[in-house]
Structure 1
Amino acid sequence: MFTHIVVGTNDLERAAQFYDAVLGPLGLNRQENSPADRLVYVGGEAGAFLVMRPLDGQSAEAGNGGTIGFRAATPAAVDAFHAAGLMAGGLDEGAPGPRPSGDRMTYGAYLRSPEGHKICAFARLSTI
């Protein structure tokens, strides 16, 4: 559905440390040939996830009420996502664990990036 998602940062180096850590366990890797002013993560069938300074030159701020969710292959990948995020300066917004989601059971975790963006990772467990 999406070709890409972009979040802002005021500190590209700090953002690289955080997103490299949390997205690696989910199979998303930073493109080595990305322009110097942005981070571009790709993997699998997903569109691109970009982190960059705002083009208008203003300060980057996290949106209120928004969450970006990433698909994880396994609960272990969700655990690794969450642990890596905490080690890389993120904040816990929901510890890893099972969560009902409609007619299925999922396993997920939530983080806030150092910039305040809310992100999560979920793995499908089973149908309820």
Structure 2
Amino acid sequence: MLSYLTLGTGDLDRAQDFYDAVLGALGYTRLENDAHGRGYGLPGASHSGFWINEPYDRRPAGAGNGTMACFNAPSRAAVRAFHAAGLAHGGRDEGAPGLRDYGPHFYAAYLRDPDGNKLSAVCEAPE
């Protein structure tokens, strides 16, 4: 359905440190670097499915109300590692790791990145 998703940042170096840590905890890696952004995906992927960019219009980046990027996690331990890495790299807690009411195995954690963008990691496999 989606080719890629982009979130804006006002500080690319800070965002890179944050996303290298939280996405690395889920098994994703930084695949692309350009002057205005960083692209992430699974190792060996042909293109980046997630980008952090300075806005092209040069206006300040802002978090969308009701907007959230959710990343697949390979395990519940990876969800916990994502959440811990986010908190250690300037993120804010929006929901500790745990089971949610969206299914019997829907294990998720929620964060805000340093720019205020809401993120989630989800594992739907049984423990």
Q: TM-score, normalised by structure 2?
A: 0.91
Aligned length: 124
Correspondence for 1:41:
40
3-state SS of paired residue (1:3): coil
Identity %: 47
Distance, in Å, in 2 between the alignment partners of 1:37 and 1:53 is 5
Q: Retained in 2: the 8 A contact 1:4–1:48? A: yes
Counterpart Cα distance in 1 of 2:57 and 2:48: 24
- Structure 2 distance, partners of 1:92, 1:85, is 8
Q: CA RMSD in A?
A: 1.6
Instruction: Find the counterpart in structure 2 of residue 77 from structure 1.
Output: 78
Gaps of 5+ in 1: none
1:2–1:47 CA contact under 8 A, matched in 2: no
Q: How do residues 25-40 of structure 1 correspond to structure 2 at under 5 angstroms?
A: 25-31=25-31, 33-40=32-39
2:52 maps to 51
* Map of 1:5 onto structure 2: 5
Greater per-residue strand proportion:
1
**Quick check: 1:106 aligned with 2:121?**
no
Stretches (4+) displaced over 6 A: none
Q: Give 3-state SS (helix, strand or coil) of 1:85's partner.
A: helix
SS of 2:121's partner is strand
Checking the alignment, whether the CA contact within 8 Å between 1:93 and 1:112 is kept in structure 2 is yes
* Structure 1 length-normalised TM: 0.90
